[in-house]
Chain A
Amino acid sequence: EVQLLESGGGLVQPGGSLRLSCAASGFTLRSYAMSWVRQAPGKGLEWVSAISGSGGNTYYADSVKGRFTISRDNSKNTLYLQMNSLRAEDTALYYCATDREGAYDIWGQGTMVTVSS
């Protein structure tokens, strides 16, 4: 079965760090560009970051630039999001998704990040 499984979310204090992981199964991750999308409680979808299949190109929303780092380990079939200097407004459900060049066709179930003291 083709699926993505996110992990690494949790409760963190403002200013803290977390690293999210997204493990692919049933397909080879290196074939895809990948993205992170988040959704604050009761709100819409927000594009966060993307990375090319090789990992050579990365892109970030202005709201996370300089604080978040996307990376991938194709040998482990895993995508990552390192989140530093976390703020209350980063509280959200974080999804990873495959980018099929013009569509996000495979989504994980999401991992919840809560930033609160």
Chain B
Amino acid sequence: AIQLTQSPSSLSASVGDRVTITCRASQGISSALAWYQQKPGKAPKLLIYDASILESGVPSRFSGSGSGTDFTLTISSLQPEDFATYYCQQFNSYLFTFGPGTKVDIK
């Protein structure tokens, strides 16, 4: 099965900061990667799919890039509502594994 790692596992940032989260796959997955945001007590919310396509309704400060094994999620200017945990997920082949998550909290 394809393994995903995320870095960092957690970060502290301030409102207005640019934040970058990395997801690395154990083997090439083309662009078959999605990013989710999860807030405490809530279901995950889709942000990005196909590595770089913004889901409808998601603010444009979120962006995704990468292909093959290395991917990034960038928040261009962190807003108070963005403090959450972010997960990547690969769709290249079953099993559709998730990364371990990156928690973004307030500095």
Contacts and interface: CB of A to CB of B under 8 A. Distances in A.
Interface of A: 35, 37, 44-47, 50, 59-62, 95, 100-105, 107-110
Interface string B15-41: 000000000000000001010101000
A103 B1 contact: no
B87 A44 contact: yes
B38 to A, nearest CB: 8
Contacts of B38: 45
Contacts of B97: 47
Nearest to B33: A102
25 contacts: A35-B96, A37-B44, A44-B99, A44-B100, A44-B101, A45-B36, A45-B89, A47-B95, A47-B96, A50-B96, A59-B95, A60-B95, A62-B1, A100-B49, A102-B34, A103-B34, A103-B49, A103-B55, A103-B91, A104-B44, A105-B55, A107-B43, A107-B45, A108-B43, A109-B43
Size category of the binding interface on chain B: 20 to 34
B98 A44 contact: yes
B82 interface: no
B46 interface: yes
Chain A interface secondary structure, helix, strand, loop or mixed?
strand
A101 B2 CA distance: 18
Given A46-B98, A47-B97, A95-B43, A104 B89 contact: yes
Nearest to B45: A107
With most chain B CB atoms within 10 A of its CB, the pick from A45, A107, A108 is A45
Contact of B87 (A45, A50, A100): A45
Given A45-B38, A104-B36, A107-B45, 19 more contacts: A44-B85, A44-B87, A44-B98, A44-B100, A44-B101, A45-B44, A46-B98, A47-B98, A59-B94, A59-B95, A95-B43, A102-B34, A102-B91, A103-B34, A103-B46, A103-B50, A104-B89, A105-B49, A108-B43
Contacts of B87: 44-45
With most chain A CB atoms within 10 A of its CB, the pick from B38, B46, B87, B96 is B96
A42 to B, nearest CB: 10
